[in-house]
Amino acid sequence: MPKVTYIESSGTEHVVDAPVGQTVMEAAVKNAVPGIDADCGGACACATCHVYVDQAWAEKTGEASSMEMSMLDFANEVQDTSRLSCQIKITEELDGLVIRLPDSQH
């Protein structure tokens, strides 16, 4: 099963097993990784699952849809590799993915 590493803004790392077909958000929430609220449960409705994809993985995780980009416009401290983690589906190719978490979702 692919592994995803989440790095909190404090530097604390969490390595979790992420089933193919689930999203980067779900794997975090189900493993109690702090820093991703995801109040809407992955409906791309709330923008509380903002993450930074590690530069080395940015291409493999694909591009944000226009909906997602409009939501990211209003997230805090947006960077080039900002994404909503509910919109990144886990695939075999993402085994080893590194995700950095922002300070806050609000």
Partner 1 sequence: MNTNAINRVIIIGAGQAGGETAQRLRQGGFKGEITLIGEEAFPPYQRPPLSKKYLAGKVDMDRLLLRPASVYAEENISLLRDTRAVWIDRASKRVRLEGGRELSYDALVLATGAKPRALKLAGADLAGVHLFRTAADVDAMKAAFVPGARLVVIGAGYIGLEGAAVAREMGLEVTVIETAVRPLARVTSPEVAGFFLDEHTRQGVRFMLGGQPALIKGEARVTGVSLMNGTEIPADIVITGIGVTPETTLAEHCGLKVENGIVTDENCRTEDPAIYAIGDCANRPIAHYGGRQCRLESVHNAVEGAKLTAAAILGQKAATETPWFWSDQYDLKLQIAGLFNDYDHVVFRGAMSERSFAAFYYKDGRLIAVDAINKPGEFLGVKALIHKGLNVPPDVISDESRTMKEIVAAAG
Residues that bind partner 1 (CB under 8 A): 22, 26, 29-30, 32, 34, 39-41, 43-47, 67, 70-71, 73-74, 106
Q: Least separation, in Å, of the C-beta of 104 and partner 1?
A: 11
Q: Least separation, in Å, of the C-beta of 54 and partner 1?
A: 25
Per residue, what are the HEC states of 78-94? CCCCEEEHHHCECCHHH
Compare residues 29 and 94 and give the one whose CB is closer to partner 1.
29
Compare residues 16 and 58 and give the one whose CB is closer to partner 1.
16
Residue 25 three-state SS: helix
Compare residues 58 and 64 and give the one whose CB is closer to partner 1.
64
Burial of 13 (C-beta count, 10 Å sphere; 0-12/13-18/19+): exposed
Cross-strand partners of 3: 17
The angle subtended at Cα 10 by Cα 4 and Cα 12, nearest 5°, is 40
Q: Least separation, in Å, of the C-beta of 56 and partner 1?
A: 28
Q: Least separation, in Å, of the C-beta of 42 and partner 1?
A: 8
Compare residues 24 and 47 and give the one whose CB is closer to partner 1.
47
d(CA 95, CA 45): 27
